[in-house]
Amino acid sequence: MIKGKVNKILLTLLTSILTLGLIACSSSEDSNNRDVSRREKRTDISSSNETDTSVDTNLSSDSSSFDDNNSLDDINDENLPTEKSENINPDSVTIEEQVLIEQDGLKVTAKGYVYDKYSGPGISLLIENDSDQNILLSTTDVIVNDYMVNSYFTEEVNAGKKSNDTMYFSETDFETAGIDTIGKVEIYFHISDPDTYTKIEDFDCVTIETSASESIETPSDNIGTELYVSDYVSISAIGIKENTIGGMELLLYTENKTDQNITVCCDDLSINGYMITGYFSADVYTGKKAYDSISFSSSDMEKNGLTDINDIDDVEVAFRVRDADFNVIEETEPIQIFTR
């Protein structure tokens, strides 16, 4: 068990380092090296402002459109509530015990819905490894009520052993998406070698429907100010604020309108005319939605005298959309997100 805990800690550190190193869509690097397939973990940010109905949402002749006259007054930290939902609690839903995976000696059973005041909502799991190899079970992606959310789950189970653990979901992601009650959870499990972290297998999506699945309505889409819409994707700006590590970030809403999974990255980011490195990569599965933030490089901001939100007068950014094979299927010219 000591070895397992050490490996889990090492995996967490390794994942964090790789995420920070790979996720930047930097305007100063070659475009082939700027996009990655895994989205950056979202920071503590939520949203509630309504759609700016003055934005032109009609498709142009090239099947895309964007508004270049958005007001900074409509996209700011005041539109981002910080109060936590009181409805995601242990009594809100239940799930029936059900087998999620039973293959090649691995059996994963969902035991029930739980809520922890520190860790948030989650699903308790029983993992049984009757194979002849040690495994590290984790997830690649999790979708709740059609919104991409982050989950916190990694469990090492040695050959012939069992383990009880809980997959927790990001409560911040729930608040941002307006999810008060869990209706449907879609999970993509992944197993790897706990010593080398090499992939053993990715599993097909498994779905858990809760006792509230038939009564859940998709929350009214908090899509903010629409920036870009095409046959492939819709991108909107929700709000901008300082984050918990002293930098600044812009929350975006992205909807995948295609029949394939996509990754959206940013490029050519500039603030007040200064080129700034932006960190943004949002995986959005077919027909799903996601909230993700463009994090602005703190060092770039500081060296250009941008140390406060009130210093920001103008932001421009371009977007690139890739398919699951990393092929670019759409890219935009720099879009003026807002101007003061």
Residue 227, pLDDT > 80, answer: yes
pLDDT at 137 over 50: yes
* Alpha carbon distance 70, 49 (integer Å): 14
Task: Please report whether residue 288 resides in a domain.
Answer: yes
Q: What Å distances lie between residue 82 and 45, 74, 237, CA to CA?
A: 7, 17, 17
Average pLDDT of the residues of the chain: 78
pLDDT of residue 95: 93
Residue 242 shares a structural domain with residue 325? yes
Residue 243 has pLDDT above 70, yes or no: yes
Look at residue 340 in the predicted model and tell me its pLDDT: 64
Domain count, the chain: 2
- Is 153 within the bounds of a domain? yes
Rounded CA-CA distance 42/253 in Å is: 12
* Residue 274 pLDDT greater than 60, yes or no: yes
Which is higher by pLDDT, 111 or 92? 111
Residues 6+ apart with CB under 8 A from 12: 154
On whether residue 82 sits in a domain, the answer given is no
> Which band of pLDDT confidence, cut at 50, 70 and 90, is reported for residue 231?
very high
Q: Indicate whether 199 pLDDT > 80.
A: yes
Higher pLDDT, 86 or 332: 332
Per-residue model confidence as pLDDT tens digits over 2-27: 444 444 444 444 444 334 443 444 44
- 80 falls within a domain: no
- Element of type H or E holding 22: helix 2-22
The residue ranking higher by pLDDT, 217 or 10, is 217
332 in the same domain as 287: yes
Q: Are 110 and 199 in a shared domain? A: yes
The answer on 148 and 183 residing in a single domain is: yes
Distance CA 194, CA 158 (A): 9
Tokens of 204: 């097909």
Average pLDDT of span 15-44? 38
Question: Do 119 and 162 fall into the same domain?
Answer: yes
Please check whether residues 234 and 335 belong to one and the same domain: yes
Same domain, 199 and 102: yes
Q: What percent of the chain has pLDDT over 70?
A: 70
Q: 240: which strand partners?
A: 250
Do residues 315 and 273 both lie within one domain?
Answer: yes
Report residue 88's pLDDT band, with 50, 70 and 90 as the boundaries: low
Clarify whether residues 104 and 171 are in a common domain.
yes
| Residue 85 within any structural domain of the chain | no
Q: Is 334 a domain residue?
A: yes
Residue at a domain's end among 151, 181, 209:
209
**Mean per-residue pLDDT, 139-160:** 95
Predicted local confidence at residue 5, as pLDDT: 43
CA 94 from centroid of its chain's CA atoms: 25
Q: What is the mean pLDDT of residues 134-159?
A: 95
Say if residue 305 is in the same domain as residue 328. yes
Residue 218 located in a structural domain: no
Specify the CATH number for the domain of residue 133. Answer: 2.60.40
Worst-scoring range by mean pLDDT, 9-23, 160-174, 185-199, 235-249?
9-23
pTM: 0.75
Over the stretch 292-301, which tens digit does the pLDDT of each residue have?
A: 999 999 999 9
Question: Is residue 234 domain-shared with residue 322, that is, in the same domain?
Answer: yes
- 52 and 116 share one domain: no
pLDDT band at 153 (very low <50, low <70, confident <90, very high): very high
Containing structural domain, residue 272: 2-75+224-339
Question: Which pLDDT value is given to residue 40?
Answer: 35
Residue 172 or 56, more confident: 172
Token pair for 201: 């297998």
The predicted pLDDT at position 42 comes to: 31
- 331 half-sphere exposure, CB direction, 13 A CA radius: 14
In sequence order, the 6+-apart residues with CB closer than 8 A to the CB of 319 are: 228, 233, 235, 264, 265, 266, 267, 331, 332, 335
Does residue 197 surpass a pLDDT of 70? yes
Looking at 209, 241, 265, which one is the last position of a domain? Answer: 209
Q: Which of 276 and 40 is assigned the larger pLDDT? A: 276
Instruction: Give the CATH number, domain containing residue 44.
Output: 2.60.40.2550
Q: What is the pLDDT of residues 302-332, one digit of tens each?
A: 999 998 888 898 899 999 999 999 999 999 9
Q: Label residue 180 by pLDDT band (50, 70, 90).
A: confident
Does residue 277 form part of some domain?
Answer: yes
